[in-house]
Structure formats: structure tokens, C-alpha cells
Amino acid sequence: MSQSLYRADERYCHEGNWHCVDRLWLLDISSESSQPVKIHHRTMNMEIAGHEWFSRDGKTIWYDLQTPRGQTFYVAGYDVSSGQRRWYHVEQRDHWSVHYHSSPQDDLFCGDGADEEMVAHAKDAKWLYLFTPKDIPDVAGLQAPDSGDLVKPGYFETKKLVNMKDQDYRFEPNAHFSPDGKWVVFRGNMTGEIHTYAVEL
């Protein structure tokens, strides 16, 4: 379990094959009558959601979403208080990452890339990435009556930060932002030995 900094919530996941289990759940441990809340509802076969994390303020749960597995890629967010959902499209297969992470203000994301054997089967994904989220506005202000319950769409603008061509991805870099948001810290074995690295933004 991972403790939230917002309310007395606990996030937990059901381990197992991602396409078979509903992984993401939220429980308010301050209430004895609280029931688990499912964070993501599958809409198709082989849809997967996982590698979840809390935003720094604890108000959002972010996760890797694929609809279906290995085909269409998003970083999705669930607002703990309102239940509102936001999906940022990862527009190129090569930009999919094993892990994502958000900056302290949720205004930037990073990804640690992947190799060809992983779920996206990307040809040139051995990079550390910086993503800038962009919201897609409503056209002419038009909204469906239930628009507040629908996913808010967006996409990532992508910048390559570090060439990871010599990384053995059996050891995943798992990049994270520093607390001040000025660095991305990650682990690497590019030299044959395991080290911790940081790249300044």
C-alpha cells in the first residue's frame, strides 16, 4: 500500500496479469464503513492499467493505461476527491515507457523508455523522456449533458532527455523527479555497472 498525503486514503493494487484483474483501488481508512473504490473500469478485452502512483499532493492517482494492451497508450489520472478522469495520449509507440512519473506540480511527466521486447515493441524507445501535458479543449464550448463524468482528453509533447541505448532494460531505469522538480533521477547500467544518474531539466 502507498499512503496518500491527501485525506486518509490508501491506494492498493491487485497483483496478477494486468488484462485479467482490476488492479487499481482506493480505500478511505479514516472511515470504518468505507468500501473500496475501483479507480479504472475496463471498457474492452486486453485493456490494461497499472504502474500507478500518487501525485505529490496526493490528490491524483496517475497510471499507465493501454487500450488495448500494446496498441494505444495513455497516462491516465483519477482525481481522488471528485472521481474526474484525465487521459494524456502518448502519441508515438517509441515514446511509451515502462514507468512514468509526475513533477511536484503535475505540470511535467517523465518516462524511462523501453526496449523492443517490451509491450510496445518499439524500435527506438531507449530514451529517457520529458513529457509536457496538453489539454484538448472542447470545440466551441460544446459539452454533453454528462460531460463532467466523462474523460478529459489530452496528449503529451515529448522531448528526449537521455540516450539509453546501452541500457539493459531487464534493469528498469524507473525515473523520478527530484523534490524541487529541477532534476530527473534514474538508475542505469549503461557502463555495465549499476549507478544512479540525474539529468538537469
Interatomic CA distance for residues 89 and 83, integer angstroms: 19
DSSP state of 78: E
Question: Per-residue pLDDT tens for 130-189?
Answer: 999 999 988 877 788 888 889 999 999 999 999 999 999 999 999 999 999 999 999 999
pTM metric for this prediction? 0.89
Q: Side-chain half-sphere of 59: how many Cα atoms within 13 Å?
A: 8
- In terms of C-beta density within 10 A (0-12 exposed, 13-18 middle, 19 or more buried), how is residue 189 classed? middle
- The mean pLDDT value for 36-44 works out to 91
Task: Report the pLDDT value the prediction gives residue 11, as an integer from 0 to 100.
Answer: 61
- The mean pLDDT value for 49-76 works out to 95
For residue 13, which amino acid is it? Answer: C
- Output the CA torsion sign for 7, 52, 74, 114: positive
Q: Which domains does the chain have, with CATH numbers?
A: 45-200 (2.130.10.10)
Question: Would you say residue 9 has pLDDT above 60?
Answer: no
What percent of the chain shows pLDDT beyond 70? 93
pLDDT bucket at 12, cuts 50 / 70 / 90: low
